[in-house]
Amino acid sequence: MLVSSQGCSLITGGDCAGVGHYGVIATVLDARTQAPPASPAKVTLREGAFVEVLAVPNLGPGVYGGASDREGVYSLTVEAAGFQTFVQQDVAVRGRSCGEVTTNSVAVQLIAAP
């Protein structure tokens, strides 16, 4: 899923006033089947004291969006029953005009636990 915005005026807020933008979108799939895990994964974003836990896909099957309108450099952890824990460091989200953020899309390929 692509998160984008319409144009906006820096003076009035224009089209983007009040519109949230996900900083991180994680698509979580089983590496073997290329389908989302049977049970929802737990996706955790961390930056310093900030922690956001996403326990339910909020953008479609296997797709989790977080860090709404929040710049930062995050660690991303994905846990799912029957799979090894996935960790990716340095997931960067940068600010743009109107308080928007760039979206960092991460493809998570979960490997079955031994």
Domain residue spans of the chain: 20-110
What is 20-110's CATH number?
A: 2.60.40.1120
For residue 49, give the 3-state DSSP assignment.
Answer: coil
Beta strands per DSSP E along the chain = 24-30, 42-47, 50-54, 63-66, 72-79, 86-93, 104-110
Please say if the pLDDT value at position 15 is more than 60.
Answer: no
Average pLDDT across the chain, whole number: 85
- pTM exceeds 0.85 for this model: no
Residue pLDDT, tens place only, 34-45:
999 999 999 999
Strands 104-110 and 72-79 turn out to be: unpaired
How far, in Å, CA of 31 to CA of 106, rounded?
A: 14
Residue pLDDT, tens place only, 65-104:
999 889 999 999 999 999 999 999 999 999 877 767 888 9
- Beta-bridged to residue 91, according to DSSP, are 74
